A and B are shown apart, each in its own frame.
Chain A
Amino acid sequence: MAKSDLVRIKYLIEDLWQWKKPVRIMEVCGSHTMVIGKYGIRSLLPPSIELISGPGCPVCVTPASFIDALLTLKNVTIATFGDLIRVPGINGTLEQARAAGLDVRIVYSPLEALKIASTRETVFAGIGFETTIPGIAHTLLEAQRLKLHNFSVLPAFKTIPPALKALLSTDNIAIDGFILPGHVSVITGSAAYQFLVDDFHTGGVIAGFEPITLLQTIKDIISQLKRGIPMIENAYKEVVSIQGNIPAQNIIRKVLQPEDAYWRGLGKIPASGLGIKEEFAQFNAIRKYDLQITETEMPSGCRCGDVLKGFIKPPQCPLFATTCHPAHPLGPCMVSSEGSCAAYYKYER
């Protein structure tokens, strides 16, 4: 690390330690959760500034019933991102089902699933936030263009702005500012968050992934609080624009439409998901196989919902690191390395 970086870090930390009023800042991006944990950023902050990890990991918030729906499929190949393979449904994981004979294939890109579908009936496990959704929507358009009859997508797409709205509308929630996601915002643009200021008088800063940038972002949020003027700032201008990626937004609008969605740990959030439009119903695995994705009860004792809302920290869950750990996750916040409980387990125990 360059000396100038060290000087800047020292200056940022000293400045942050001047802040005495208790505030809570939430990040909603799994990669930010990882960087905060890995670089011990919490340990650099004064006791007055608390960082909480919100619902920033699409794998973690995917309901168990999504996995269970995939597990009911017979005589199909399931194509999925590797992130999903160890996530437990009520009836096991895709990894276990594969060991028992289900044809499960990990793909890097949803377009690879089209290649698989050229020779066999294929269902793609469609999870993701705004970063991932446009690519899957484009894949659906390609399936239509190629007139593929044996390809479908099981959709569990989720969008971040409605989730933030739901969080801020929760009783007794105390969030003073947001570290806004980097790569989700590449698609949405910074303008998508203006409602935080207009409707909730809460500001946020879109951040990149360098530890120094995150410290600077926290300082920027504190500066907003000092001035009493919340705003949406963009500290990741090299990648994120005001309006976002328009071609990607257009493809989403063409293929998908907003619908209510279940978030593991948070429950049903209005218009926070994207479903497949009627026009593309033949590629919708829910329709093709008559599947259902419903709210799933949380494993008994799991307090992931309270963790995601910042009501408790992971170690305050009685199951944390006792019966729930990364090799054997009980709750959603422990299933992916980017989950709040998993990051705490790895870096802050």
Chain B
Amino acid sequence: MCLAIPGKLLSREEETGIVDLGGISQSISLIFTPEVKIGDWVIIHTGFALNIITESDARKTIELLQEVYGKE
């Protein structure tokens, strides 16, 4: 249950951001990644961005997660 999944930050208002999670928009807290900018990729856990990652790492992770957890 400690899994964090990548999403792309679409917009932000102070400490709240909207991310794109595979086509679904989700509101998240940016309290732990105050430096994040619109267009950045973050890894998200229970509605909180935990760190900023590169787009290529994000895409690799999404693919892997779909494989490991997707077809349950």
Expressed in whole angstroms, the Cα–Cα distance for A110 and B31 within the complex equals 14
Residues of A participating in the B interface, judged by any CB pair closer than 8 Å: 29-31, 34-35, 38, 57-59, 81, 83, 108-112, 128-129, 131-132, 134-135, 138, 181, 183-184, 186-187, 209-210, 238-239, 245, 247-248, 251, 336-338
With a CB–CB cut-off of 8 A, which chain A residues contact B43?
Answer: 183, 186, 239
Size of the chain B interface, CB-CB below 8 angstroms? 27
Q: Are A109 and B53 in contact (CB under 8 A)?
A: no
Main secondary structure of the interface of B (DSSP, over half): mixed
With a CB–CB cut-off of 8 A, which chain A residues contact B60?
Answer: 210
Which chain A residue lies CB-closest to B69? Answer: A34
Q: Select the residue from B28, B47, B65, B72 with max chain A CB neighbours within 10 A.
A: B47
Q: A38-B68, A239-B57 are in contact. Are A30 and B48 (CB under 8 A)?
A: no
Could you show 29 A-B contacts with beta carbons less than 8 Å apart? A29-B2, A31-B3, A31-B68, A38-B68, A57-B1, A81-B46, A83-B1, A129-B2, A131-B45, A131-B50, A132-B1, A135-B45, A135-B48, A138-B29, A138-B31, A138-B48, A187-B50, A210-B60, A238-B54, A238-B57, A239-B57, A245-B32, A245-B50, A245-B51, A247-B31, A247-B32, A247-B33, A248-B32, A337-B72
With a CB–CB cut-off of 8 A, which chain A residues contact B10?
Answer: none
Q: Are B50 and A81 in contact (CB under 8 A)?
A: no
Q: Select the residue from B32, B53, B68 with max chain A CB neighbours within 10 A.
A: B32
Q: Are A209 and B64 in contact (CB under 8 A)?
A: yes
Contact check: which of A59, A111, A245, A251 meets B1 at CB < 8 Å? A59
With a CB–CB cut-off of 8 A, which chain A residues contact B32?
Answer: 134, 245, 247-248, 251
Contact check: which of B29, B33, B68 meets A111 at CB < 8 Å? B29
Q: List B residues 1-56 near A (Cβ within 8 Å).
A: 1-4, 28-29, 31-34, 43, 45-48, 50-51, 53-54
With a CB–CB cut-off of 8 A, which chain B residues contact A184?
Answer: 2
Expressed in whole angstroms, the Cα–Cα distance for A29 and B1 within the complex equals 9
Expressed in whole angstroms, the Cα–Cα distance for A57 and B28 within the complex equals 24
Q: Are B57 and A135 in contact (CB under 8 A)?
A: no
With a CB–CB cut-off of 8 A, which chain A residues contact B29?
Answer: 109, 111, 135, 138
Q: Are B48 and A134 in contact (CB under 8 A)?
A: yes
With a CB–CB cut-off of 8 A, which chain B residues contact A247?
Answer: 31-34
With a CB–CB cut-off of 8 A, which chain A residues contact B47?
Answer: 108-112, 135
Q: A58-B1, A135-B29, A186-B51 are in contact. Are A110 and B46 (CB under 8 A)?
A: yes
With a CB–CB cut-off of 8 A, which chain A residues contact B64?
Answer: 209-210
Expressed in whole angstroms, the Cα–Cα distance for A110 and B51 within the complex equals 19
18 A-B pairs besides A129-B2, A183-B45, A209-B61 with CB distance below 8 A are A30-B2, A31-B68, A34-B68, A58-B1, A109-B46, A128-B2, A131-B45, A131-B50, A132-B2, A135-B29, A138-B48, A184-B2, A238-B54, A239-B57, A245-B50, A245-B51, A247-B32, A337-B72
State the Cβ distance, B21 to closest chain A Cβ, in Å: 11
Q: Are A131 and B2 in contact (CB under 8 A)?
A: yes
Q: A135-B46, A247-B31 are in contact. Are A209 and B2 (CB under 8 A)?
A: no
Expressed in whole angstroms, the Cα–Cα distance for A109 and B43 within the complex equals 14
Q: Are B1 and A30 in contact (CB under 8 A)?
A: yes
State the Cβ distance, A263 to closest chain B Cβ, in Å: 15
Which chain B residue lies CB-closest to A110? Answer: B46
Which chain B residue lies CB-closest to A38? Answer: B68
With a CB–CB cut-off of 8 A, which chain A residues contact B68?
Answer: 31, 34-35, 38, 209
Expressed in whole angstroms, the Cα–Cα distance for A30 and B43 within the complex equals 18
Expressed in whole angstroms, the Cα–Cα distance for A336 and B45 within the complex equals 18
Expressed in whole angstroms, the Cα–Cα distance for A109 and B50 within the complex equals 13
